[in-house]
């Protein structure tokens, strides 16, 4: 176990974990064997660096570089990110921030930095919301932004509840929930993340600071029809939920395109029972809608919902649209960003369409983000990447910011 590896080497160590041979890329859902293996990987590297590792009641990992006389760890600086992935995702979305944080600890040690306040490297579970549907679930629990009883009852594709899956993985679901005392001890959280977009490519820069995260939410659309035989059922006698789903998807595209720079996606559709010669009995689909204006997001969703309800009536189906999670537009802490900018004067400030734990925690503690150039600009796909030099530049930038924050 190297106790001084650069972030590139650290990322290379996990390239074989959670490989998805069907989709390509990586599938590392929370509490899965792959995610648990990544947790162990992180804990071993943190421990090898002399960091004191704990897992809190929400399953968040905290690796502490404690300083003398800071018994209660007040005024801590926290960095880190997540290790879970979307289905078929890349190896950088999340792990780059975790690996860079570990490498930044090495850089601080090399520099002989003696922090005057504690540092923690944190790993937040279920950031993608890929298994239980709510994005940034760990940071939302910590911040008190989601009801623990609702979380315990969430189910995955197989119907397994969060409570049961957490218990299976060795966690105690009865103790999830807000942790105001832990938050009160944190002076700032800085998350490094691979850029999900082309901003740094266009600016020809390796590292950026985050300005804002646009508002974004996800809605579950369930359409109930009547299953029947594809050949024996006349067209006039059908109540086909797939037809209504098709109208929903078309409508989302239409209503998104008329709002400048809005983003509307349906990336997940589940047809039940799913036979080629079977008229479906129900369809579940999920909408992801984003825009700088929360009002615009909600207007798009309500327009699409109205259209879907009309299509369902015409088809003799019943539709239910349920908001799963919503994050308002987040502007990161200006004072913290100014301090980061004073350390990284050449780093541009970029907004992002991607959500992050830092975006959730921005509501309760000062947070900032660093983005590292992604030469493809693509993310949530195996094409997501970051070049070794830019990764090193990101680690140096993070180490510079942490040096500034930890020594005053």
Query: What is the dihedral angle through the alpha carbons of 143, 145, 149, 154, rounded to the nearest 10 degrees?
Result: -110
Q: Quick one: 97 or 366, whose CB is closer to Mn ion?
A: 97
Q: Which of residues 219-248 bind ligand HGY (CB under 6 A)?
A: none
Smaller CB distance to Mn ion: residue 57 or 90?
90
246 to each of 177, 224, 393, how far by Cα in Å?
38, 14, 45
Report how far apart the first and last C-alpha atoms of the chain are (Å, whole number): 32
CB of 322 to Mn ion, least distance (A): 22
Considering CB distances under 5 to 8 angstroms, the limit depending on partner class, which of ligand HGY, Mn ion, none binds residue 135?
ligand HGY
Q: Of Mn ion, ligand HGY, none, which one does residue 94 interact with (CB within 5 to 8 Å by kind)?
A: Mn ion
Query: Phi and psi dihedrals of 357, rounded to 5?
Result: -60, -35
Residue 93 C-beta: closest distance to Mn ion, Å: 4
Pick between residue 197 and residue 206 the one whose CB is nearest to ligand HGY: 197
Least distance CB 92 / ligand HGY (angstroms): 11
x-marked contacts with Mn ion along 89-128 as a string, rule CB under 5 A = ----xx----------------------------------
Query: What are residue 35's phi and psi, to 5 degrees?
Result: -70, -35
Is residue 273 reached through a cis peptide bond, with omega within 30 degrees of 0 on the bond before it? yes
For residue 236, the 8-state DSSP code is G
* Shortest Å, Cβ 121 to Mn ion: 16
Interactions with ligand HGY, residue window 102-161 (CB under 6 A) = 127-128, 135
Residue 352 or residue 392: which is nearer to ligand HGY going by CB?
352
Q: Residues near 380 by Cβ (< 8 Å), separated by ≥ 6? A: 86, 88, 89, 90, 93, 196
Q: What is the CA radius of gyration of the chain?
A: 22
Q: What whole-number distance in Å separates Cα of residue 81 and Cα of residue 104?
A: 13
By CB under 6 A, the count of residues binding ligand HGY is 5
Closer CB to ligand HGY, residue 6 or residue 357? 357
Cβ distance to ligand HGY smaller for residue 109 or 198: 198
Cα separation, 183 vs 276, whole angstroms: 52
354 binds ligand HGY (CB under 6 A): yes
Contacts with ligand HGY by CB under 6 A lie at 127-128, 135, 354-355
């Amino acid at each position: 176990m190297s106790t001084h590896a650069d972030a590139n080497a650290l990322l290379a160590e996990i390239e074989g974990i959670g490989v998805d041979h069907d989709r390509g890329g990586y599938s590392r859902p929370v509490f899965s064997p792959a995610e648990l293996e990544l947790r162990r990987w992180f804990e071993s590297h943190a421990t090898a660096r002399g960091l004191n590792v704990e897992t809190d009641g929400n399953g968040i990992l905290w690796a502490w570089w404690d300083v003398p006389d800071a018994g209660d760890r007040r005024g801590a600086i926290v960095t880190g990110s997540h290790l879970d992935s979307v289905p078929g995702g890349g190896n950088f979305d999340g792990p780059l921030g975790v690996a860079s944080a570990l490498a930044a600890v090495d850089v601080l040690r090399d520099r002989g930095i003696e922090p005057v306040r504690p540092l923690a490297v944190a790993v937040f579970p279920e950031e993608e919301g890929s298994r239980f549907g709510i994005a940034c679930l760990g940071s939302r629990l910590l911040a008190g932004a989601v009801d623990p009883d609702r979380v315990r009852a969430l189910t995955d594709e197989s119907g397994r509840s969060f409570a049961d899956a957490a218990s299976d993985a060795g966690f105690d679901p009865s103790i999830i929930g807000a942790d105001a005392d832990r938050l009160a001890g944190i002076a700032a959280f800085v998350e490094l993340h691979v850029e999900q977009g082309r901003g740094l490519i266009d600016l020809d820069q390796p590292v950026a600071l985050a300005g804002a995260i646009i508002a974004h939410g996800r809605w579950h659309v369930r359409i109930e029809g009547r299953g029947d035989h594809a050949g024996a059922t006349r067209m006039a006698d059908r109540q086909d939920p797939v037809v209504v789903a098709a109208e929903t998807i078309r409508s989302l595209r239409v209503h998104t395109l008329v709002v400048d720079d809005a983003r509307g996606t349906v990336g997940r559709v589940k047809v039940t029972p799913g036979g080629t010669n079977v008229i479906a009995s129900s369809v579940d689909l999920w909408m992801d809608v984003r825009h700088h204006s929360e009002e615009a997001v909600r207007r798009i969703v309500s327009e699409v919902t109205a259209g879907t309800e009309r299509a369902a009536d015409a088809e003799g189906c019943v539709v239910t649209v349920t908001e799963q999670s919503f994050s308002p537009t987040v502007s990161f802490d200006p004072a913290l960003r100014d301090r980061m900018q004073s350390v990284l004067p050449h780093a541009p400030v970029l907004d992002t369409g991607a959500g992050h734990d830092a975006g959730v925690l921005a509501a309760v503690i000062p947070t900032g983000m660093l983005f590292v150039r992604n030469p493809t600009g693509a993310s949530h796909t195996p094409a997501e990447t970051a070049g070794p030099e830019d990764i090193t530049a990101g680690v140096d930038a993070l180490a510079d910011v942490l040096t500034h924050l930890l020594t005053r």
